[in-house]
Structure 1
């Protein structure tokens, strides 16, 4: 069992670095804007499908990732606009957009799945040997995640980032101090889903294929990673808040690896992850409720 777990460590480490983009995407609306968003489950495969389609059509990998980010950004903007102008709950708006994206993905690829040859990917463009060594992939992915983390921290400290955080803290008060709450909410949703789409584009290039169902269950996994990361390092500062999803993703996927090494059936993982998220989110509310009842008595 121990040897099996050790053998899986590098594979799950590479996987966790890629899926940390999803955890970051969930963190932006959930923590910064205090608005839950389910569009991630659609924007992640959208990024992958867009990347696969344009890579096989002859576009370079860097442009394919930029296109994926743009597609995810538009998906996030769509959710924000539906939420704000049609007065539809952000969760329902996200479900609607994610559902529509499924049809878009089929149109983009022309089929449910599409393979991508290794020589078309960013990994091969940097060095053909990278795809042959898992540790080379890990080093490249870690560098990319590090750049995104530094960029997000700098963004949150900028004027736009401060306005975004202000909207999340008090959307009703923001207009009184000259901040357009609708605009910055839209930017936040777009940023989040752009990150998710980037993760999808990287996954496709690493695993060599795209599938329209590749986003199924990704939201719960990302939320579990976010919760674990915040439990480990907290979210008292901007740096901690941005790094928490990365740490959580690494720990979460290693826990998944450990579970598989002990003989846990892969089909049980979704059930256990969902139960973990439910308990983590619900337990504090139950504790507060009991404390209030005790105080009233």
Structure 2
């Protein structure tokens, strides 16, 4: 009963956190599923957005404007990754690693130190909600509305002509180019928007937790991937609606699972290992089903 009560008490907090992280999961899904562009920039764009937003807020900039500037910085980071890949023919993962590594130094330069407290400054939540800004359900309402707006905009775009062209680039770049689609521009914009979403999540996160930290993105990519896999297992990927909803649903479910593991007594230091093992299992499960648990593999080896 104590475990259930603890888990129930954490539900509002984990819902608010999962909605914020869903921006990162959307940023993982867009290049990975829509553009077939495996990218690691999100792990650097998330703290970039937080560091930029935190620095601007402490400098007296309006929190809404600070979030928008953080979004633009994330967009620039994603565009840089795509440009490096397209211009210098560097592997997408390596290009993302290079940008992510450089962003760590850039974040330190932006803040001038490793972390910045924001407890005494106005945030988006204090401006919109006033005294009730720190209530979890207030944050859920505000972030939930923003997530709904982003999902609506993504659905509208991907069902439009330009959105269909971007999806065509991910499905078959050669065919898309044969149809007169500018593959390079679509790739740069798509990866840029993905990193902009991650940076937006970082800018909201720092205002929720009350501080910006240069290490806040550590491990966020594997969490996003785990959430995406869970979401796709629940919703499927047969339609663009399901594909767009999968990151949000997966994020909600994933963080409830993490919360439940913590209430059962799992040490926080073990969560990364558990998450990695879970992702590995989810990725390997379809192949294990196709091979009948390894029977076909053993038969091929014997042959």
TM class by shorter chain equals over 0.9
**Equivalence for 2:158:** 156
Query: 4+ residue stretches of structure 1 with deviation over 2 A?
Result: 129-132, 282-297
- TM-fit CA distance, 1:116: 1.2
User: Is 1:169 equivalent to 2:167 in the alignment?
Assistant: no
1:231-256: CA deviation from partner (whole Å, max 9, x where unpaired): 01111111111111000000000000
- Separation in structure 1 between the aligned mates of residue 202 and residue 162 of structure 2, nearest angstrom: 26
Instruction: Decide whether the 8 Å contact of 1:119 with 1:125 is kept in 2.
Output: no
**Equivalence for 2:251:** 249
- Separation in structure 2 between the aligned mates of residue 105 and residue 196 of structure 1, nearest angstrom: 15
Specify which of 271, 284, 289 is matched with residue 286 of structure 2.
284
Give the RMSD, CA atoms, in angstroms.
Answer: 1.5
- Separation in structure 2 between the aligned mates of residue 137 and residue 73 of structure 1, nearest angstrom: 25
Do the aligned partners of residues 295 and 79 (structure 1) sit closer, same or farther apart at CA in structure 2, a change above 3 Å counting? Answer: same
**Equivalence for 2:4:** 2
**Structure 2: which 5+ residue stretches go unaligned?**
none
Name the TM-score, length of structure 1 as normaliser.
0.96
- Separation in structure 1 between the aligned mates of residue 178 and residue 298 of structure 2, nearest angstrom: 40
Name the TM-score, length of structure 2 as normaliser.
0.94
- Separation in structure 2 between the aligned mates of residue 139 and residue 255 of structure 1, nearest angstrom: 22
- TM-fit CA distance, 1:120: 1.8
**Equivalence for 1:236:** 238
- Separation in structure 2 between the aligned mates of residue 29 and residue 285 of structure 1, nearest angstrom: 23
- TM-fit CA distance, 1:295: 9.0
Is 194-203 or 111-120 further displaced after alignment? Answer: 111-120
**Structure 1: which 5+ residue stretches go unaligned?**
none
User: Is 1:67 equivalent to 2:82 in the alignment?
Assistant: no
- Separation in structure 2 between the aligned mates of residue 59 and residue 84 of structure 1, nearest angstrom: 36
Give the secondary-structure state (helix, strand or coil) at the position aligned to 1:127.
Answer: helix
Q: What is the total number of aligned residue pairs between the two structures?
A: 297
- TM-fit CA distance, 1:286: 4.5
- Separation in structure 2 between the aligned mates of residue 118 and residue 274 of structure 1, nearest angstrom: 37
